[in-house]
Amino acid sequence: MSTPVSIGDGVETPREPGGARMIATLALAGLISGVAIVGVYELTLPTILANRARALKAAVLQVVPGSQTMKPFTLDGGALVEATDDTPVEERIYAAYDEGGNLLGYAIPGEGNGFQDVIELIYGYDPKERKIVGLQVLESRETPGLGDKIRKDAAFVANFDDLSVDPEVVVVKNSHKTKGNEVDAITGATISSKAVVKILNVTNDRWLSHLGEK
């Protein structure tokens, strides 16, 4: 059996190749790999974008219960206007409508620091009731088994199905939730729970004053 195990010898090259040949080899390898990567990027890009758009739409329709369609909006000089294709993603919120075209609420994306890394979430807001009506965590790297309950624990997520935003959302421990604007923290994951609520309050400050009834 001939399986050489030592590293660094035994490659059959009878004579020293010139520098030009080495440069040519590397340049050619780089060129071919560049072409291959661009080709596959172009091939997969439409699918990747479609996947993202589908995930976003599913999230919007989920956090605003009963909604069927959505439309992106942005702020322009303090007024809410329909977003164009050039609007950066972080400047967008999404209006959600029922099948009759009546506005049910807005889906607002927000992000902020969690216990580990950034938490990205999206929540539904009903301007008539001034209430949060649903929440979905899109991206998080919280501790498995503890902090990741912010998306896996149905009881915690249910806190956000009917949550008043006045005067602001607050966290309470040990299931002492009594008022409409209170959220029960997850036992063992207080920091992650507080992080979610902080993101909500910061994002509310930014958007809610612009979201009167329309």
Partner 1 sequence: MAERDGGDIYREFAKGLWKENPVFVQVLGMCPMLAVTNSAINAVAMAAATMFVLVGSSFLVSLLRKVIPKQVRISTYIIIIATFVTLADFTLQALSPSVHKELGAFIALIVVNCLILGRQEAFASRNGVLLSVLDALGMSFGFAIALLCLGSLREILGSGSIFGFSLCGPHFEPWVVMILPPGGFFMLGAILLFFGWWKEMKAKRRDSVTGRVA
CA 157 to chain CA centroid, nearest Å: 16
Return the number of the residue (50 or 170) whose C-beta is nearest partner 1: 50
DSSP secondary structure string for all residues of 53-66: HHHHHHHHHHHSTT
Position among 75, 80, 103, 146 found at the interface with partner 1 (CB under 8 A): 146
Stretch that binds partner 1, among 44-52, 106-114, 122-130, 156-164 (CB under 8 A): 44-52
CA angle 52, 55, 56 (to 5 degrees): 85
Is residue 81 within 8 A of residue 46, CB to CB? The reply is no
Decide: is 40 part of the binding site for partner 1 (CB under 8 A): yes
Q: Choose which of 91, 98, 129, 139 interacts with partner 1 (CB under 8 A).
A: 139
- Please tell me whether residue 180 binds partner 1 under the rule CB under 8 A: no
Report, in Å, the least distance between residue 192 CB and partner 1.
14
CB of 209 to partner 1, least distance (A): 34
Contact 58, 82 (CB under 8 A): no
Print the binding letters for residues 66-105 with partner 1: x by CB under 8 A, - otherwise: ----------------------------------------
- Using CB under 8 A as the binding rule, whether residue 1 contacts partner 1 is answered as yes
- Rounded to whole angstroms, how far apart are CA atoms 20 and 108? 57
Distance CA 69, CA 66 (A): 10
Distance CA 120, CA 161 (A): 18
Q: What share of the chain is helix, strand, coil (3-state, %, to 5)?
A: 40, 25, 35
| Tokens standing for residue 77 | 């000089």
Q: Applying CB under 8 A, does 154 fall inside the site for partner 1?
A: no
Residues contacting partner 1: total by CB under 8 A:
36
Cis peptide, bond prior to residue 167, ω within 30 of zero: yes
Q: Given the complex with partner 1, which of 53 and 81 has the nearer CB atom?
A: 53
What is the binding site for partner 1 (CB under 8 A)? Answer: 1-5, 7-8, 10-13, 17, 21-22, 25-26, 29-30, 32-33, 36-37, 40-41, 43-44, 47-48, 51-52, 55, 139, 143-146
